[in-house]
Amino acid sequence: MKETKSTCPYCGVGCGVIIRSEGEQIVGVRGDPEHPANFGRLCTKGSTLHLTASAEVTRQTRLLQPMRREHRGEAPRRVDWDGALDFAADAFAQVIAEHGPDSVGFYISGQLLTEDYYVFNKLAKGLIGTNNVDTNSRLCMSSAVAGYKKTLGADAPPNCYDDVNHAGCIFIVGSNTAFAHPILFRRIEEAKARNPQMKIIFCDPRRTDTAELADLYLPLQPGTDVMLFHGLLHIMLWEGWTNTDYIAAHTSGFDALKSLVREYTPEKVSQACGISKDDLFTAAKWFATSPATLSLYCQGLNQSSSGTAKNAALINLHLATGQIGRAGAGPFSLTGQPNAMGGREVGGLANLLSAHRDLANPGHRAEVAALWGVPSVPEQPGLTAVEMFQAAADGQLKALWIACTNPAQSMPDQATVRRALERAELVVVQEAFATTATCDYADLLLPASTWGEKEGTVTNSERRISRVRQAVPRPGGARHDWEIVVDFARRLETRLRRAPTLFPYTTPESIWLEHRETTRGRDLDITGLSYALLEQAPQQWPFPEGASSGKARLYEDGVFPTPDGKARFADVAYVPLAEPRESRYPFSLTTGRLRDQWHGMSRTGTLGRLFGHVPEPAVQMHPQDMARRSLQEGDLVHVTSKRGSIVLPAQASNEVGLSQAFIAMHWGAEFLGGVSSTGEPLAGVNALTTSAYCPGSKQPELKHAAVKILKAELP
Ligand code: SF4
């Protein structure tokens, strides 16, 4: 029996795991007692990881050899790796020659390791000369990135998990932490048990399990977060609860915000948000006057057509009250995926460059070009997730390379995404699992290694970099993601007549060392770190050369990475939902996670025991809404938006408010069929969701769509 330390591949808590293996088989998993994210604990998903890697599951679900489809709609045929990658390189070279570099795009994933992300980014921006590389982290964290940069000057979550032990008040907003970040939630439960004086405010349209721990629940109307945050600031100003010394010393732009929030009176905010004035006052008081207030937030703020404004308006509250830069105080965004943070660090999004540089900044483009040894990095902004699929659907994007993600289920407005995948001349899918809906659209399928089989690093929500380690060999002909990219890139270099190679890497560590160098002098400087140090323990950034440890908290000195060193208040106005409910579509539909499932279920869906908690899909409705429509528990209903319709059982739930509905995001075609508004077959809740996105972050509004719900007529 061998034991190998690694990291859980599910959520952004980033728990340490110890993999037990016998020969080539993973046989067990336990929490790593030394890992500072979890101290030995695992949730239901983490503790069953080994079962998702059994020989039988591997045989049934994994993509084990490269496969090519000669014609769409046919079964793919096995090809060897040389044949597969030569075909891909020829096809990409031809598309680039005929239509230019911006006719190709890469859609990658927060499930990839930092090293994988780095080479994808360099392939697109350094070799091909297009910024069309974006990721499913766009659906997850891009509003948090934009919110931090707008206010604090850098994309750097200031806090650490230990802050829950120092907080006097925890404000959880737009996050079902109990389900989505279970091990962090357990730490909050313990902190509360140790310190019953601690106040927990929970704010969300759904009264989820997270509310069980709350001293105060704010049942926010969908999309009114900015209204609420401005209303709380209005009360704090009126009551004299702001920290004028902190505002004067460490911030700029407060006067403009002060005038803006004047109109957000308690009466107006109470009515719009559906929260009593008393509760608004209590929340404002606890937030402002607690010795230390920590906000935890996630997709409820991010997956919104005003996601940047929501993030910035929440950070305003921390700046106005001085609740930042101290133990237990600060705005702490939680990452959904295991390595959304690592992707941000290497600039693996269409608008970013390595080490938190901005594509729009000519100086940053020149720095990255010099680091990579290329003449330039293109200035033309890249296509973000929604834009990329829209461009493919419109016939402008000819070749799509999709890695480690399943847009044919997870992207909003599935009708457009399916059209994009059909219309693109070439679709390459690099994947560990053969079972995703996106595989059905691939001209070329490239089998990738996955958890337990690969080496590299990931960064969790608290800026902590952990090693991911290989415990067993890759099955069949699967290759590591970075190897596939490097092998393809070298072949493409030959066809594009570029030399010497930009991709000399032989190991993940060799990639990581180049990434490390790009961070020198940046806010996330990790030049003092090494794989050897990470072998000993996970570390937080920044960790510059000469440092003996990383930083648990940022901005303790009150200096921010802005030109004048001051944090900036954001005078962002409240903007209503992109698609408010109306008489024809009278329900607010929201989506979210279940406790025991992950994303599109390609891994968790292989285990019967993970269906014990929630065995089948349903649309949750308030009992009064069901009664008004004469619906009984389990009655089949059509849930219909302007884009599509799905059929599933109705389930009464007091978690959702009146005129609201909830469907879990995980269920795909095998569980949940549907049709588009024009009658094409679709799957899952994203047949209904809208691709309207935040203008600042380009993150789509997955948390809200207007729908109607009608009883299905039985034949
Ligand atoms: Fe994995 Fe997240 Fe559960 Fe930790 S809390 S074991 S990282 S899914």
Instruction: Write the CA distances from 418 to 422, 519, 642, integer angstroms.
Output: 6, 38, 16
Confidence of residue 677 (pLDDT cuts 50, 70, 90): confident
Give the separation between CA 298 and CA 140, rounded to whole angstroms. Answer: 8
Residues 555-565 pLDDT 10s:
999 999 999 99
Confidence of residue 713 (pLDDT cuts 50, 70, 90): confident
Cis peptide before 542 (omega within 30 of 0): yes
Res 328 pLDDT > 80: yes
Residues 179-197 pLDDT 10s:
999 999 999 999 999 999 9
> In angstroms, what is the span from residue 703 Cα to ligand 1's centroid?
22
Residue 235 in contact with ligand 1 by CB distance below 6 A:
no
Residues 613-651 pLDDT 10s:
999 999 999 999 999 999 999 999 999 999 999 999 999
State the residue for tokens 């009593």.
276
Atom of ligand 1 nearest to the CA of 44: 3
Give the separation between CA 647 and CA 639, rounded to whole angstroms. Answer: 6
Long-range contacts of 485-488 (CB under 8 A, 24+ apart): 485/116, 485/119, 485/120, 485/123, 486/119, 487/81, 487/85, 488/85, 488/88, 488/89, 488/123
Residue 590 in contact with ligand 1 by CB distance below 6 A:
no
Residue 348 in contact with ligand 1 by CB distance below 6 A:
no
Residues 139-154 pLDDT 10s:
999 999 999 999 999 9
Alpha helices in 394-434 (DSSP H): 407-410, 414-423
Give the separation between CA 673 and CA 117, rounded to whole angstroms. Answer: 33
Give the separation between CA 622 and CA 221, rounded to whole angstroms. Answer: 14
Q: What is the pLDDT of residue 714?
A: 64
Give the separation between CA 390 and CA 388, rounded to whole angstroms. Answer: 5
Q: What is the pLDDT of residue 668?
A: 83
Confidence of residue 609 (pLDDT cuts 50, 70, 90): very high
Residue 595 in contact with ligand 1 by CB distance below 6 A:
no
Residues 380-390 pLDDT 10s:
999 999 999 99
Res 673 pLDDT > 90: no
**What DSSP assignment string belongs to 275-289?**
--HHHHHHHHHHHHH
Res 257 pLDDT > 60: yes
Res 674 pLDDT > 70: no
Residue 11 in contact with ligand 1 by CB distance below 6 A:
yes
Residue 14 in contact with ligand 1 by CB distance below 6 A:
yes
Q: What percent of the chain has pLDDT over 90?
A: 96
Q: What is the pLDDT of residue 672?
A: 60
Pocket test for ligand 1, best of 29, 38, 458 (most atoms within 8 A of CB): 38
Res 70 pLDDT > 90: yes
Residue 12 in contact with ligand 1 by CB distance below 6 A:
no
Res 37 pLDDT > 80: yes
Residue 17 in contact with ligand 1 by CB distance below 6 A:
no
> In angstroms, what is the span from residue 247 Cα to ligand 1's centroid?
37
Atom of ligand 1 nearest to the CA of 182: 5
Could you tell me if 296 and 13 are in contact, meaning their C-beta atoms sit under 8 angstroms apart?
no
> In angstroms, what is the span from residue 339 Cα to ligand 1's centroid?
13
Res 48 pLDDT > 80: yes
> In angstroms, what is the span from residue 39 Cα to ligand 1's centroid?
12
Residues 425-447 pLDDT 10s:
999 999 999 999 999 999 999 99
Res 700 pLDDT > 90: yes
Could you tell me if 176 and 184 are in contact, meaning their C-beta atoms sit under 8 angstroms apart?
no
Q: What percent of the chain has pLDDT over 70?
A: 99
**What DSSP assignment string belongs to 537-589?**
--EESP--TT-SS--SSS-TTS--SSTTS-EE---PPP---SS---SSS-EEE
Residue 333 in contact with ligand 1 by CB distance below 6 A:
no
ipTM over 0.95: yes
Q: What is the pLDDT of residue 499?
A: 87
Q: What is the pLDDT of residue 166?
A: 98
Q: What is the pLDDT of residue 671?
A: 63
**Domains, the chain, with CATH or none:** 2-61 (3.30.200.210), 142-333 (3.40.228.10), 587-711 (2.40.40.20)
Confidence of residue 237 (pLDDT cuts 50, 70, 90): very high
Confidence of residue 675 (pLDDT cuts 50, 70, 90): confident
Q: What is the pLDDT of residue 670?
A: 62
Residues 468-488 pLDDT 10s:
999 999 999 999 999 999 999
Q: What is the mean pLDDT of residues 325-341?
A: 96
Res 23 pLDDT > 70: yes
Mean pLDDT score of the chain, rounded to an integer?
96
Residues 285-312 pLDDT 10s:
999 999 999 999 999 999 999 999 999 9
Paired residues of 706 in beta bridges = 588
166 phi, psi to nearest 5 deg: -110, -10
Atom of ligand 1 nearest to the CA of 10: 8
